[in-house]
Structure 1
Amino acid sequence: MISFSIQKPDETIREALIDKINDLTKPKGSLGTLEELALQIGWIQQTLKPVLSKPHNIIFAGDHGIADEGVSLSPKEITRQMIGNFLGGGAGVNFLARQHHFTLKVVDGAIDFDFPPIEGLINRKIRKGTRNFLHEAAMTEEEMDQAIRTGAEIVRNCQREGCNIISFGEMGIGNTSASSMWMTCLTGIPLSECVGAGSGLNQEGIRHKYNILKQSLDNYQGDNTPIDIMRYFGGIEMVMAVGGMLRAAELNMLILVDGFIMTNCALVASKLYPDLLHYCIFGHQGDEAGHKLVLEYLHAKPLLHLGLRLGEGTGAICAYPIVESAVRMINEMNTFSNAAITKYF
């Protein structure tokens, strides 16, 4: 796999950031999470005046071989059908991107369909869906490496367009199954606590999904390293997101993490490069079973809990105004010294 240079931001500026935040005209700590975010963002950007520039949301799309085992309520053709919805502006992520002025990019990484040239669709197809990990690895090492490189390339292009805060979404029937496998293998949390309803399975469907995934886990004979787990059970669109996150951290960009699937992508990325987590802001805690547990494992503090489980980057974009408020706080609030107000705490 290609390598990245991801380092913990320099601590030198932290004290100055804390002093500035504490000198704003408010009781110390009274703006809570906004203060924590302002400190994190200023620390990442190494400035007392952080800025947010041209936010982007990238949707990586791909099909999963495991979907052939009936682990999802939705058929695989939904993946390709939703591409038209994204490009036409009618999906959940679209109205949020318009509302919060996000640039939306849609990438075909592994959809099991041959699209004609479509304006707005970035064609980076590696193969038509992954293999079925019930029987074999979802992808080869070469396919995994190509997916990592592709995600990194897309993020580099966004950064060249002036973006310094980025979120990731996904479209791929079966990707909650892949995420559950990553989660159980890399955290040690029992598989039964990692498997949920996905796009709407009932209890019988969840039991079937669990049984298929348990059999897949029993069949696995790899070396249990994060790279092998990523390759064997992952989706190509998910691996692209891992590559995108790693490149974003390398470029000192802010990463807004979406729901269950993207949180597991952050999990994998952090197993490869632990310092990645310094660059992550977790947008929300969704209702998919296991999301709360994997957030707790990562010691992540999600900004919202709205009962979301759509994916696409919707929860991350919903959280963006809170991040923007934190930046406005540190830049626009007056200080006690400037306002000639006596500190009242």
Structure 2
Amino acid sequence: MSLDWLHAPCAQPDAVLADAARAHQLQLTKPPGSLGLLEALAIQLASLQHTSKPALERVWISVFAGDHGVADEGVSAFPQVVTGEMVRNFASGGAAISVLARTLGANLEVVNLGTVNDPGDIPGVRRAIIAPSTANFCLAPAMTVEQLDAAMSIGAQSVQAALAAKAQLFIGGEMGIANTTAAAAVASALLDEPPSCLAGAGTGLDAAGIRHKVSVLERALERHADASTALEQLRCLGGFEIAALTGAYVAAAQAGLPVLVDGFITTTAALAAVTIQPDVRPWLLFAHRSKEHGHAHLLNVLAAQPVLDLGLRLGEASGAATAVPLLRLACALHNGMATFEQAGVSNA
């Protein structure tokens, strides 16, 4: 499959409904702006969902898992076998995102793109193996053109499944030992900034481990300095799950499905998606400010105001899932509060 689909136009938010939602907020029994970001979220969702009564009853979560060749460079505090083991944990219901999805009543899809420790066929896991791992991008491009194509298309397929389930919100998550290294590499290349600005502790590196991680990233960025487009940077420095998330975000914007972005790795994918297709940006809401070094910078670059700041750095879409109840409350307040006229309350 060609990646030409990435450049198809995105859906457009409804500006008229945004204005109507904004006017409605001014009529509710509260001082204007007193519910802060909850008001802005309701207005944005009304515009994106093309309705005067936004709702988030049906939430779809896709967690993409894939291993990284750069793990060979010793950039993670955890062994690479954990990726495959966590795929099984997601499916059996023991992971954080499994508990959160169950509590929210959300549809959780787990997609195995390729792990060194292959857990095999597991009920509840979509097996979409590209390769056991990306290549070590210190030595070669992380992906071939065909592998990048496959990963991005698999992400788009998850969006199609969400649409078939009539989802009102798409959340992407990720799992892959060494994927904060890959995300920092992609973000550094996209922004043309040194990796020291973006590389952090990941799964728990100490200061010496972070310095080593930065040195690995510097080698990789020098090796792939000729990657001049976002797609080439993603291919040379990314991971299967980061590419799948990027494809999913573009496909969601094209289909008019709002996206709630999780943490550092998913925000890197969002940055890639917006770089490839700028009209993706209005379809992105941002769940939280991760504790991972570099995430706050990416949020600033994307002019994003996250819903939460809880010191989270787990990934898996856990931060996005945690923010869903607040988005639901934003919708409930918008739809359920009385206006001054209805309540017989004076509006000064």
Please give the TM-score of this superposition, normalised by the length of structure 1: 0.97
| CA deviation string 1:268-309 (max 9, x = no partner) | 000011121111111001111101111111111111111110
Are positions 1:75 and 2:90 aligned together?
A: no
Local SS of the residue matching 1:237: helix
1:172-218, Cα deviation, whole Å (9 max, x unpaired): 01110111011111123321111111100111111111111101111
Alignment of 1:249-260 (within 5 A): 249-260=253-264
Q: Report the equivalent of 1:195.
A: 199
Q: Hey, what's the Cα distance between the residues in 2 that align with 1:238 and 1:220?
A: 18
Give the match for residue 319 of structure 2.
315
- Whether the aligned pair in 2 keeps the contact of 1:106 and 1:121 (CA below 8 Å) is yes
Q: 1:218 aligns with which of 208, 218, 222?
A: 222
For 2:179, the equivalent position in structure 1 comes to 175
Which residue pairs with 1:61 in the alignment? 65
Amino acid paired to 2:124: G
Partner of 1:204: 208
Whether the 8 Å contact between 2:197 and 2:294 is mirrored in structure 1 is yes
Structure 2: stretches of 5+ with no match in the other structure: none
Q: 1:53 touches 1:162 (CA, 8 Å); kept in 2?
A: no
1:137 to 137, 141, 148: 141
Shift of 1:221: 4.1
Q: Is the 8 A contact 1:110 1:237 kept in 2?
A: no
Q: Which runs of 5+ in 1 are unaligned?
A: none
Please list the CA deviations of residues 142-200 of structure 1 after superposition, one character each: whole Å capped at 9, or x if unmatched. 11111111110111111101212011111101110111011111123321111111100
AA at the equivalent of 1:322 = L
Deviations 1:101-143 (A, max 9, x none): 2211110012124443211110011111101100111111111
Number of residue pairs the alignment of both structures matches: 344
1:96 aligns with 2:85: no
RMSD of aligned residue pairs (Cα, Å)? 1.2
TM-score by length of 2: 0.96
Give 1:328 deviation, angstroms: 0.5
| Match in the other structure for 1:2 | 4
Return 22-31 or 47-56, whichever deviates more. 47-56
Provide the C-alpha distance between the structure 2 equivalents of 1:204 and 1:114, rounded to a whole number of angstroms.
Answer: 31
Distance 2:295 2:41 in 1: 21
Cα deviation digits, residues 25-79 of structure 1 (max 9, x gap) = 1111111111100110001112211122311211100000000110111111000
Q: Percent identity?
A: 39
Give, in whole Å, the separation in 1 of the partners of 2:120 and 2:56. Answer: 36
Residue-by-residue CA offset, 1:4-28 (whole Å, 9 max, x unaligned): 3214313222221211111111111
